[in-house]
């Protein structure tokens, strides 16, 4: 079965570093993903607006993957959670499934279940295992204290996404620890990053992000490590906004898990699009 | 004389049209800041910008883009090599014919001392490029009408552009063929150019032209003998060959002459026929020219300008007056090729909203009308506003655009301009507004915040008891498109055993964020569940909680009774937006393409 990389709209132009870092790490680990240029948005942003349009968007991608006998791997946690959610909704509501298939028919597609959607963390976790990854580390990130952030759509609702224990997840922590870094325990770890409110209630969004940053800092973290592009944007660009508007008195570096792992695998930091001022925070010896 | 009048009239129309169109670039703009840049200022800025660019090293960028993107059309090639071949056939064929044939008096003659259209290579090339254009036109039509998927086919303007080209080329070939068969043309030529020669020789020449050049003669019916032909050939070489390559070189016209000649020669020989053909050909060219500024063919000017301008301009760096002008050039540079729609990440949901303004290629013309102040009715404006907001700003359209239009920037400019109308835009209450928020530093605070307030007010309004009764609104849960089973769950929340343990509210990061959550948010999640169970829809839908829910599912995960609280909230937001759409229908604020019973 071919594994197709499912691209996130958000990263295509807005976060090219995300795509580059993901690609580098997968290449280094020998994970072979095919590109499918006709994948489109998972529909996440439309969920609260026109639910059926959201399900239709996901269903189209799933149908396309099915027609090409591909399984899907997402990097983005939102894409992951929402593809799963759509699958769930389609299974639950045969009437809607029929309507959606009627619409998809106009593009010559038909939704059937059976396409496996996985998050790339799962691909690493299952195909290589934590030990397998640990065995490939050439630049252990010893002494680095990381606040691991999963992102809501990777964890909840558990019966839909089925990734990890939603109250005490360990997968990402173990992968981070495989790089030699330490995963600190922090109280706001499982809370939302605040991204869904950005653009609707920015003050609330910044409150939530600020709280998470403060919690991570209190726990003594050197950086926050995220996998989802929305969360990443929140902890970088929105953190900049918080710094500019609210003067919290500190800044916490944010690193993508892909970048963190890439560094530990010995990949060049410029290939991982790690900004020069971030590096000393992650690799103390590079200071 | 008549020709000259026609030509100058067409030229006058063309020039006036060009001035009118180009002036629109400076008179209008869909930019939200357009008012700050009056036309005079924009003309000055444009001239300044052009001069400064041409005098800077950026001139090399311009040259490179001109060569690669304008002449070689790299952007089309990257999207589709077949599309490139089709477009190149038309582009190259047309350009060569324009300079070698139409403007031969000025161009070709300047390079060749004795230019005659009937000698090679010109004779052959004229047909070659004419046929190339025809092949391109037919291929383009076929491609447009056999498109699969969601990309719309051809519109009237697309068809007009292709048809006018086809008429020009076909009439040219037919006219050429008609002349080849024509005995009167032949006789005139003989009278003029035959050197000496008796009747017999003339007879031989005619036989030779009948045999070799597609001429149809009323006198010569039977094929001539070898000897006669040899003499005819001699006469031909004496008198005609210096200006006449074999008519077979002009293969298309010759093919027409050989097919139509035997049956239609007398009709084709009539001077009136040839005159008619000539005027069809000339008028098609002149109509094409006069109407060019208003047709899609205007892209031959706007696209190169757009490609080159965008190669050297950058938002935030370039003069904002020029950025406002550039938007207008961009709107004129759209060729409705459909690349953007093919690449669009959300095109699929067109199937659900049935709003063709969701498809980027289809909203360009509407935006142009909007930008140039054409009166659009309220419905069209709404369709545009909704369509342009159903967009994730992924940037794939801009990457795909063969004209190099910075579509992402165009969308965000137009969105802000539309939002100034203060018609509620519900997409602002979804993550579709994230990119807008990330760019808010470049925006006036008030201008940024106002549209969100308007949208929120619109979904919260009208839920007090009194207006509910006045409007006699009926709650029709499920219109947001959520599942039947979900609908059932909503109705049975109280019987599902919510015992108001408040775990949902206690686990909610939004509730936890406010010391006085009730005052900030209205009903808290557990109260929402209770109100739903009691059918107190006015309380449910007037709660700000609904619009401050992250959808993070903490509540749902924690609920000891496994009530799908986050899903319920999602359903309610869908419902509220659908209902708000209906109640705002009167003031032009409903979401088009959606029926809700009320």
What is the mean predicted confidence (pLDDT) over B394-423? 96
Nearest Cα of chain B lies from the Cα of A167 at a distance, in angstroms, of: 9
Dihedral over Cα of B358, B362, B365, B368: its sign: positive
Using an 8 Å Cβ cutoff, are A145 and A221 in contact?
A: yes
Q: Is residue A247 reached through a cis peptide bond, with omega within 30 degrees of 0 on the bond before it? A: no
Closest by CA position to B562, among listed A169, A166, A82, A157: A157
What is the mean predicted confidence (pLDDT) over B171-192? 94
Strand locations in B437-479 (E): none
The rounded distance, in Å, linking the Cα atoms of A52 and A86 is 9
CB contact under 8 A, B552 and A201: no
The rounded distance, in Å, linking the Cα atoms of B160 and B154 is 10
pLDDT at A89: 92
pLDDT at B466: 66
Contacts with B457 from chain A: Cβ below 8 Å = none
Of all residues in chain B, the one with the smallest CA distance to A101 is B351
DSSP track, A26-85: HHHTT---EE-TT-----GGGTTT-HHHHHHHHHHHHHHHHHTTEEEEESSHHHHHHHHH
Using an 8 Å Cβ cutoff, are A125 and A118 in contact?
A: no
Contacts with A168 from chain B: Cβ below 8 Å = none
Q: Could you tell me whether strands A2-6 and A145-148 are parallel, antiparallel, or unpaired per DSSP bridges?
A: unpaired
Other beta carbons within 10 angstroms of residue B257's beta carbon come to 26
CB contact under 8 A, A41 and B396: no
CB environment B99-119: b (16+ within 10 A), e (fewer): ebbbebeeebeeeeeeeeebb
What is the mean predicted confidence (pLDDT) over B396-420? 96
Q: Same domain, yes or no, for A150 and A96?
A: no
Q: What are phi and psi of A34, to 5 degrees?
A: -90, 155
Residue A131 maps to a domain:
no
Contacts with A157 from chain B: Cβ below 8 Å = 553, 556-557, 564, 566
Q: Same domain, yes or no, for A277 and A242?
A: yes
Q: Same domain, yes or no, for A28 and A146?
A: no
| Token pair in block for residue B112 | 């060749």
In the sheet with A2-6, reading across from the earlier edge strand, the strands are: A34-35, A2-6, A70-74, A117-119
Task: Work out the mean pLDDT of chain B and round it to a whole number.
Answer: 89
The rounded distance, in Å, linking the Cα atoms of B126 and B120 is 10
The rounded distance, in Å, linking the Cα atoms of B576 and B561 is 26
Q: Same domain, yes or no, for A97 and A21?
A: yes
Lowest mean pLDDT among A18-22, A68-72, B306-310, B326-330: A18-22
Q: Same domain, yes or no, for A180 and A276?
A: yes
Residue A94 maps to a domain:
yes
pLDDT band per the 50, 70, 90 thresholds, residue B590: very low
The rounded distance, in Å, linking the Cα atoms of B262 and B26 is 58
Cα-trace Rg, chain B: 34
Rounded alpha-carbon distances, angstroms, from residue B432 to A17, B437, B464, B537: 22, 10, 29, 27
Using an 8 Å Cβ cutoff, are A26 and A237 in contact?
A: no
Contacts with A201 from chain B: Cβ below 8 Å = 547-548
Nearest Cα of chain A lies from the Cα of B290 at a distance, in angstroms, of: 40
Please return the burial class of B536, using the count of CB atoms within 10 Å of its CB with bins 0-12, 13-18 and 19+: middle
Nearest Cα of chain A lies from the Cα of B556 at a distance, in angstroms, of: 7
| Token pair in block for residue A286 | 């590079």
CB contact under 8 A, B431 and A238: no
pLDDT at B596: 35
The rounded distance, in Å, linking the Cα atoms of B236 and B211 is 12
Residue A112 maps to a domain:
yes
Using an 8 Å Cβ cutoff, are A110 and A150 in contact?
A: no
Q: Same domain, yes or no, for A142 and A282?
A: yes
Nearest Cα of chain A lies from the Cα of B498 at a distance, in angstroms, of: 18
Closest by CA position to B481, among listed B593, B356, B357: B593
Give the domain extent around A81. Answer: 2-119
Rounded alpha-carbon distances, angstroms, from residue B94 to B248, B287, B292, B297, B320: 22, 16, 14, 12, 37
Residue A132 maps to a domain:
no
Contacts with B408 from chain A: Cβ below 8 Å = 13
Residue identified by tokens 């971030």 is A278
User: Mapping DSSP to helix (H, G, I), strand (E, B) and coil, where does residue A224 land?
Assistant: strand
Q: What are phi and psi of A227, to 5 degrees?
A: -115, -25
Q: Which H/E stretch holds residue B302?
A: helix B299-312
CB contact under 8 A, A40 and B431: no
Nearest Cα of chain B lies from the Cα of A6 at a distance, in angstroms, of: 12
C-alpha of B255 from chain center: 37
Nearest Cα of chain A lies from the Cα of B357 at a distance, in angstroms, of: 15
- Indicate whether B551 pLDDT > 70: yes
CB contact under 8 A, A93 and B510: no
- Indicate whether B473 pLDDT > 50: no
The rounded distance, in Å, linking the Cα atoms of A19 and B121 is 54
CB contact under 8 A, A237 and B438: yes
Nearest CB neighbour to A152, from listed B352, B484, B552? B552
Nearest Cα of chain B lies from the Cα of A179 at a distance, in angstroms, of: 29
What is the mean predicted confidence (pLDDT) over B82-93? 97
Long-range contacts of B362-370 (CB under 8 A, 24+ apart): B362/B152, B362/B387, B363/B387, B363/B388, B364/B331, B364/B334, B364/B336, B365/B155, B365/B334, B365/B336, B367/B30, B367/B331, B367/B410, B367/B414, B368/B331, B368/B332, B368/B334, B370/B30, B370/B414, B370/B418
What is the mean predicted confidence (pLDDT) over B35-55? 96
| Contacts of residue A113, Cβ cutoff 8 Å, sequence gap at least 6 | A62, A87, A90, A91
Other beta carbons within 10 angstroms of residue A16's beta carbon come to 12
Please identify, among A119, A154, A182, the residue that sits at the C-terminal boundary of a domain: A119
Share of chain B above pLDDT 70, in %: 92
Nearest CB neighbour to B437, from listed A103, A167, A199? A199
Nearest CB neighbour to B483, from listed A60, A92, A211? A92
What is the mean predicted confidence (pLDDT) over B342-363? 93
Q: Same domain, yes or no, for A111 and A145?
A: no
Contacts with A230 from chain B: Cβ below 8 Å = 431, 434
Kindly report the CA angle at B195 between B191 and B197, in degrees rounded to 5?
90
pLDDT at B438: 95
Using an 8 Å Cβ cutoff, are B548 and B521 in contact?
A: yes
pLDDT band per the 50, 70, 90 thresholds, residue B495: low
CB contact under 8 A, A197 and B348: no
Total beta-carbon pairs less than 8 A apart between chain A and chain B: 198
At B195-236, the pLDDT tens digits run 877 888 888 999 999 989 999 988 887 787 888 899 999 999
Kindly report the CA angle at B267 between B262 and B269, in degrees rounded to 5?
85
Contacts with A15 from chain B: Cβ below 8 Å = none
Domain B465-583 has CATH 1.10.1060.10: yes
User: Mutate which of A10, A19, A35, A53 to disrupt the B interface (most B C-beta within 10 Å)?
Assistant: A53
DSSP track, B173-213: HHHHHHHHH-HHHHHHHHHHH--S--HHHHHHHHHHHHHHS
CB contact under 8 A, A156 and B554: yes
Q: Same domain, yes or no, for A179 and A249?
A: yes
Nearest Cα of chain A lies from the Cα of B88 at a distance, in angstroms, of: 25
The rounded distance, in Å, linking the Cα atoms of B170 and B374 is 37
CB contact under 8 A, A166 and B353: no
| Token pair in block for residue B238 | 């004496």
Q: Same domain, yes or no, for A184 and A87?
A: no
Q: Could you tell me whether strands A117-119 and A34-35 are parallel, antiparallel, or unpaired per DSSP bridges?
A: unpaired
Nearest CB neighbour to B485, from listed A10, A93, A155? A93
Using an 8 Å Cβ cutoff, are B550 and A152 in contact?
A: yes
Q: Same domain, yes or no, for A91 and A146?
A: no
- Indicate whether B462 pLDDT > 90: no
Q: Is residue B395 reached through a cis peptide bond, with omega within 30 degrees of 0 on the bond before it? A: no
Contacts with A13 from chain B: Cβ below 8 Å = 393-396, 398-399, 408
Please identify, among A89, A119, A149, the residue that sits at the C-terminal boundary of a domain: A119
Q: What is the mean pLDDT of each run of 10 residues along chain A (287 residues)?
A: 90 89 91 92 95 96 96 95 95 92 93 94 90 94 95 94 94 96 96 97 98 97 96 96 94 95 94 85 63
CB contact under 8 A, A196 and B486: no
Other beta carbons within 10 angstroms of residue B166's beta carbon come to 18
Of all residues in chain A, the one with the smallest CA distance to B451 is A200
CATH of the domain at A190: 3.40.50.11810
Contacts with B435 from chain A: Cβ below 8 Å = 14, 199
Check residue A127 and report its DSSP letter.
I
Nearest CB neighbour to B428, from listed A44, A152, A199? A199
Lowest mean pLDDT among A160-169, A251-260, B82-91, B110-119: B110-119
CB contact under 8 A, B438 and A198: yes
pLDDT at B108: 74
Share of chain B above pLDDT 90, in %: 71
Q: What are phi and psi of B369, to 5 degrees?
A: -60, -45
- Indicate whether B485 pLDDT > 80: no
Nearest CB neighbour to A208, from listed B509, B556, B573? B509
Contacts with A55 from chain B: Cβ below 8 Å = 481
What is the mean predicted confidence (pLDDT) over B160-189? 95
Of all residues in chain A, the one with the smallest CA distance to B581 is A49
User: What are the residue boundaries of the structural domains of chain B, listed by start?
Assistant: 179-290, 333-459, 465-583
Q: Same domain, yes or no, for A183 and A63?
A: no
Rounded alpha-carbon distances, angstroms, from residue B175 to B206, B269, B594: 21, 11, 55
Q: Same domain, yes or no, for A12 and A72?
A: yes
Q: Which H/E stretch holds residue A146?
A: strand A145-148
- Indicate whether B584 pLDDT > 60: no
The rounded distance, in Å, linking the Cα atoms of B170 and A166 is 71
Domains held by chain A: number: 2
Rounded to 10 deg, the angle between the B445-460 and B565-583 helix axes is: 90
């Amino acid at each position: 079965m071919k594994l197709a990389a499912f691209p996130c709209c958000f990263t295509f132009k807005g976060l090219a570093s995300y795509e580059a870092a993901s690609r580098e790490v997968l290449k280094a680990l020998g994970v072979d993903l095919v590109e499918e240029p006709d994948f489109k948005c998972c529909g996440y942003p439309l969920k609260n607006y026109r639910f059926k349009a959201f399900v239709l968007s996901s269903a189209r991608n799933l149908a396309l993957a099915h027609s090409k006998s591909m399984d899907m791997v997402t990097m983005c946690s939102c894409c992951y959670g929402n593809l799963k959610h759509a699958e769930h909704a389609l299974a639950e509501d045969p009437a809607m499934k029929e309507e959606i298939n009627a619409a998809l028919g106009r593009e010559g597609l038909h939704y059937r279940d059976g396409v496996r959607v996985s998050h790339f963390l799962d691909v690493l976790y299952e195909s290589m295992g934590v030990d397998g990854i640990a065995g490939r580390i050439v630049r252990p990130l010893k002494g680095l204290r990381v606040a691991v952030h999963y992102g809501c759509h990777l964890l909840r609702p558990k019966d839909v996404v089925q990734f990890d224990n939603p109250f005490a997840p360990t997968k990402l922590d173990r992968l981070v620890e495989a790089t030699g870094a330490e995963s600190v325990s922090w109280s706001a770890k499982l809370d939302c990053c605040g991204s869904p409110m950005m653009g609707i209630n920015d003050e609330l969004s910044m409150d939530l992000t600020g709280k998470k940053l403060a919690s991570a800092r209190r726990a003594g973290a050197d950086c926050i490590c995220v996998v989802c592009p929305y969360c990443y944007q929140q902890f970088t660009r929105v953190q900049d906004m918080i710094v500019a508007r609210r003067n919290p008195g500190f800044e916490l570096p944010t690193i993508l898990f892909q970048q963190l792992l890439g560094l530990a695998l010995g990949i060049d930091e410029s290939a991982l699009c790690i900004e020069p001022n971030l590096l000393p925070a992650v690799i103390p010896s590079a200071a | 004389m008549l020709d000259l009048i026609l030509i100058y009239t067409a030229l006058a129309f063309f020039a006036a049209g060009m001035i009118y169109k180009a002036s629109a670039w400076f008179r209008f703009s869909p930019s939200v800041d357009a008012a700050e840049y009056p036309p005079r200022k924009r003309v000055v800025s444009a001239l300044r910008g052009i001069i400064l660019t041409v005098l800077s090293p950026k001139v090399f960028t311009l040259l490179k883009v001109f060569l690669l993107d304008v002449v070689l059309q790299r952007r089309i090639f990257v999207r589709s090599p077949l599309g490139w071949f089709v477009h190149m056939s038309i582009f190259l064929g047309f350009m060569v014919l324009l300079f070698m044939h139409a403007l031969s008096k000025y161009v070709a003659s300047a390079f060749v001392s004795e230019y005659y259209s009937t000698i090679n290579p010109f004779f052959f090339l004229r047909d070659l490029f004419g046929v190339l254009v025809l092949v391109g036109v037919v291929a383009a039509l076929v491609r447009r009408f056999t498109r699969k998927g969601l990309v719309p086919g051809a519109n009237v303007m697309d068809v007009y552009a292709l048809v006018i080209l086809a008429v020009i080329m076909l009439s040219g070939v037919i006219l050429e063929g008609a002349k080849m068969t024509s005995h009167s043309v032949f006789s005139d030529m003989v009278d003029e150019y035959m050197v000496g020669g008796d009747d017999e020789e003339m007879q031989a020449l005619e036989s030779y032209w009948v045999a070799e050049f597609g001429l149809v003669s009323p006198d010569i019916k039977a094929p001539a003998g070898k000897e006669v032909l040899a003499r005819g050939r001699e006469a031909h070489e004496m008198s005609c060959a210096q200006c006449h390559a074999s008519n077979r070189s002009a293969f298309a016209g010759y093919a027409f002459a050989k097919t139509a000649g035997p049956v239609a020669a007398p009709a084709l020989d009539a001077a009136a026929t040839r005159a008619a053909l000539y005027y069809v050909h000339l008028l098609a060219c002149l109509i094409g020219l006069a109407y060019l500024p208003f047709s899609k063919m205007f892209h031959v000017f706007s696209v190169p300008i757009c490609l080159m301008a965008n190669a050297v301009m950058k938002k935030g760096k370039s003069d904002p007056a020029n950025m406002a002008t550039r938007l207008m050039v961009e709107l004129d540079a759209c060729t409705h090729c459909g690349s953007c729609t093919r690449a669009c990440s959300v095109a699929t949901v067109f199937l659900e909203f049935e709003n063709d303004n969701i498809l980027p290629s289809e909203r360009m013309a509407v935006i142009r009308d909007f930008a140039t102040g054409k009166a659009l009715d309220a419905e069209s404006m709404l369709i545009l506003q909704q369509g342009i907001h159903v967009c994730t700003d992924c940037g794939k359209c801009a990457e795909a655009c063969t004209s190099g239009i910075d579509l992402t920037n165009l969308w965000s400019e137009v969105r802000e301009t539309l939002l100034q109308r203060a018609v509620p835009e519900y997409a602002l209450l979804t993550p579709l507004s994230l990119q807008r928020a990330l760019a808010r530093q470049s925006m006036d605070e008030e201008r940024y915040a106002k549209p969100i307030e308007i949208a929120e007010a619109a979904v919260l309004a009208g839920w007090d008891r009194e207006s509910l009764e006045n409007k006699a609104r009926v709650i029709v849960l499920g219109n947001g498109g959520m599942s039947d089973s979900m609908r059932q769950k909503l109705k049975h929340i109280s019987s599902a055993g919510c015992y108001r343990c408040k775990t949902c509210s206690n686990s909610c990061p939004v509730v936890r964020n406010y010391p006085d959550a009730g005052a900030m948010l209205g009903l808290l999640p557990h109260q929402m569940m209770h109100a739903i169970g009691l059918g107190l829809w006015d309380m449910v839908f007037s709660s700000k909680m609904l619009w401050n829910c992250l959808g993070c599912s903490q509540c749902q995960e924690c609920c000891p009774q496994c009530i799908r609280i986050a899903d319920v909230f999602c359903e309610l937001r869908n419902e509220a937006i659908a209902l708000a759409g209906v109640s705002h229908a009167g003031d032009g604020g409903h979401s088009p393409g959606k029926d809700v019973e009320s």
